[in-house]
Structure 1
Amino acid sequence: MINRLTLANLAHRPVRTALSILAIAVEVTMILTLVGVSNGTLHESARRARGSGADILVRPPGSSILSSLSSSPMSDKLPDVFSKEPHVVLATGTIIQPLELFDSITGLDMEQFSRMSGGFHFLEGGLPVQDTDMIVDEPYAREKHLHVGDTLTLISHQWHITGIYEPGKLARICVKLAALQNFTGNPHHLSQIYLRLDDPSKAQSVVDTLRAKYPGYPIFTMEYFTSMLSVNSLGLLRNFTYVVIGIAMIVGFIVVFMAMYTAVLERTREIGILKAVGSSSALILGMLMRETLLLAVFGTIAGILLTYLTQWLMLHFAPGGLYQETVYGWWPITAGIAIVGSLIGAVVPGIKAVRQDATEALSYE
């Protein structure tokens, strides 16, 4: 009986019910989208790093493991030096030129990189031949509507697209190493160096040896480097995520509070009648809480479904380098946040409802 009455009350005011569900859905979508983009972008970066085929990463002196590289302070003679170290079978360096937002151009020794990574898997075209040739991965080509034979202007130079390859190979945009060194005014310099070992299980012991021999150079196993590409390892991103979650909770709380407060005012006479026929305060409060719980559940379901829309929008319209993944572990967390926040928002209107005097409520217009 109470459940039927609760559903009838929600159906009797469809606009308010729909707006309340939509507001809670937006709260859920905000949280899940932010978490999905944060995790997706970092995981995609880790996947590309693993796609290099390297076991060890060497970064410039003074840089941290996750700092961006906007300069090229290492000599391009260093890969030959590292290649002579025990267990190192291949060493190759790259130069990185940052672009807008998360994108960058990476200069590669194409032959060395192909030996290390197993080579690019081209969907169209092939490797660069001229210094002004460029290859890009399929998501970047789709975003920029590029095909083999097109030209693209970056860092004040025109590049000729010679190949489009499957994603996951270190970088989204690649050119010849020497060409990017010259175009950026960094001849014979590198941004970072990748090492491949004869036995990947010895990566940590080799890192310890190299750190002792080359003090000042941040040297990491690739496994450790990719493990650091997570939200929990980036304090600023983690704090930003918590701030947005807090804002979403406040928005949801306010919307539910206003919806339930309005519902109590609209149903003053109805509550008076329930009290007059002997309904207890607990019954009336329970009915309001059930309504709120249903709103939160429907809003959560709608919010989860909306994240698939944001994924589609992210895939087709978001700036390059942003990826949204579905983080299933956050579904129950977000549902809990939405439900608890909604129930808290209904407490004050609920108390107002049960404290109403039956006589005054029946005379309310």
Structure 2
Amino acid sequence: MNKLVVGNLVHRPLRSLISALAIAIEVIMILSITAILLGKIDGFKARQNGIGMDMIVRPSATNNFIGMSAAGASIKVADILAKIPHVAVAAPVNVHLTNSLDSIYGIDYKSFNDLLPFSYISGTSFQGPNDVIIDDYAAPGKKVGDSIKILDHDFRICGIVEHGKGGRKFIPIETMGALTESEGKASMFYLRTEQPPKYQEDIRKAILATDGMSQYDVKTADEYLSAISPSRLPYMSTAIKVVVGISLVIGFLVIFQSMYTAVMERTREIGILKSMGASRSYIVALVLRETAVIAAIGIVLGVVSSFALSFILEARFPTLDFVINLPWVWKAVVIAFVGALLGALYPAYKAASKDPIDALAYE
């Protein structure tokens, strides 16, 4: 049977190659969309962990993805939070998401730096209201003293820091307020507490019991970051399901068309096999084994191409957060393989159902 399988695939090299490429494209589609969507989530979580906070306080209506909601809290709330027992640092932040999905952080430098100090590669902290600190991912081709446009406003680069501390561009919170018509406002407040997590529940209760703070959302860093996942973000889960569904249909249809055409072209061959005693199950197994070989080649090609694409994009666009999720590699393999076998079931059944007398008479 293996010789028959290899012979049939080699005899029709173009069709076999196109079918394998279709499976590869199916795998690449699944891994690429999950790499982009889940990579954004993983990158966001990593940068939030790098801020140095262990609790976050926000107005209750604020979106989990920072910058997608307007700043709705007074900066003065930070002074109230700083007086809560066991709160070491309370840092107000006003984050604005640009049209290019770039999160600009408006910060009170002292308190934000007290959470976890910036690691400077060059330059210094803000020297004026029009200064900006950028991380090393946003810095290629730029140096301290250069001008950069942010929110249609010219800023001077005063410092370049290592990446991983929330955003990639930081400006004074007062300047952010003036540029976004949110003077004196903050999107959220990052807290660094004493001996986390020992006092965190007490801090939460104290904040909510404070006058005017009962409507605020108070979470630990773990609680906040755990809420940012595909299962908690319906639109992201839907996007992944749609892409997986489309990919599955593509793989199914291509294999169906390829194997159905192959069966029709091999009517006489199938008749010969059946006249020599080949059973229906043998014919079905023959078609499915050919499909499995095509699917395996396509899957390997798709996975290798996806990792190559990830490497190229990471080198070319380091801020893209295109990270292939390893559990999804196995899911893509299973989805592509099962889809291919489903696409081959009817052609296999059609082949097994052929009457050997009619097949031998077929011209």
1:296: how far off? 1.3
Q: Name the CA distance, whole Å, in 2 between partners of 1:205 and 1:66.
A: 26
Q: Which residue matches 2:155?
A: 159
Q: Which amino acid aligns with 2:93?
A: T
Report the alpha carbon displacement of residue 48 of structure 1 after superposing the two structures with TM: 1.2
CA offsets, 1:312-363, max 9 Å, x none?
Answer: 3543566x86412222212222211111111111011111111222233233
Alpha-carbon distance in structure 2 between the residues aligned to 1:268 and 1:124:
73
Distance (whole Å) between structure 2 residues aligned to residue 180 and residue 285 of structure 1: 67
Provide the aligned C-alpha RMSD in A.
2.0
Aligned counterparts of 1:126 and 1:358: Cα–Cα separation in 2: 84
Determine whether 1:211 maps to 2:211: no
* Greater CA drift, 107-116 or 252-261: 107-116
**Post-superposition offset of 1:64:** 4.6
Aligned to 1:292: 291
Q: Which residue number corresponds to residue 82 of structure 1?
A: 81
Maintained 8 Å contact 1:41/1:321: no
- Alignment match, 1:177: 173
Aligned pair count reads 360
Q: CA deviation at 1:7?
A: 1.5
Q: Where does 1:252-271 land on structure 2 (aligned, <5 Å)?
A: 252-271=251-270
Q: Deviation per CA, 1:278-326, whole angstroms, max 9, x where unpaired? A: 22222111111101111111211111112113313543566x8641222
Provide the secondary structure at the position in 1 that maps to 2:157.
strand
SS in 1 for 2:134: strand
1:188-203 alignment runs, 5 A limit: 188-201=184-197, 202-203=199-200
Q: Residue 332 of structure 2 corresponds to which residue in structure 1?
A: 334
The alpha-carbon distance between structure 1 residues 208 and 303, as it changes in their structure 2 partners (threshold 3 A), is: farther
2:347 to 341, 346, 349: 349
Match of 1:125 among 106, 123, 126: 123
SS in 2 for 1:140: coil
Instruction: Please give the secondary structure, in 2, of the residue aligned with 1:92.
Output: strand
- Measured against aligned partners, the alpha-carbon deviations of 1:223-265 in whole angstroms (never above 9, x if no partner) come to 1111112111111211221111111111110011011011112
Q: Does 1:29 align with 2:28?
A: yes
What letter matches 1:186 in structure 2? S
Closer/same/farther in 2, CA of residues 342 and 336 from structure 1, 3 Å limit: same
User: Equivalent residue for 2:321?
Assistant: 323
Say if 1:14 and 1:163 are closer, same or farther in 2 by CA, change over 3 A: farther
Does the Cα contact within 8 Å between 1:123 and 1:166 map onto a contact in 2? yes
Is 1:245 the counterpart of 2:244 in the alignment?
yes
Unaligned runs of 5+ in 2: none
Distance in 1 separating the partners of 2:323 and 2:69: 28
Aligned to 2:134, which of 108, 129, 136? Answer: 136
Q: Following the alignment from structure 2 to structure 1, what is the Cα–Cα distance between the partners of residues 30 and 218?
A: 35
1:312 corresponds in structure 2 to 311
Q: CA deviation at 1:131?
A: 1.8
Looking at structure 2, the residues matched to 329 and 180 of structure 1 have their Cα atoms a distance apart, in angstroms, of 40
Is the 1:45–1:229 Cα contact (8 Å) retained in structure 2?
no
TM-score by length of 2: 0.92
Task: State the percentage of identical aligned residues.
Answer: 33
Change (3 A) 1:64 1:158: closer
For normalisation by structure 1, the TM-score amounts to: 0.92
Partner of 1:301: 300
Q: Is the contact made by 1:65 and 1:218 (CA closer than 8 Å) also made in structure 2?
A: no
Is the CA contact 1:52–1:170 (under 8 Å) kept in the aligned structure 2? yes
CA offsets, 1:101-158, max 9 Å, x none?
Answer: 42121111222212111x222334333322222122222334xx43433322222211
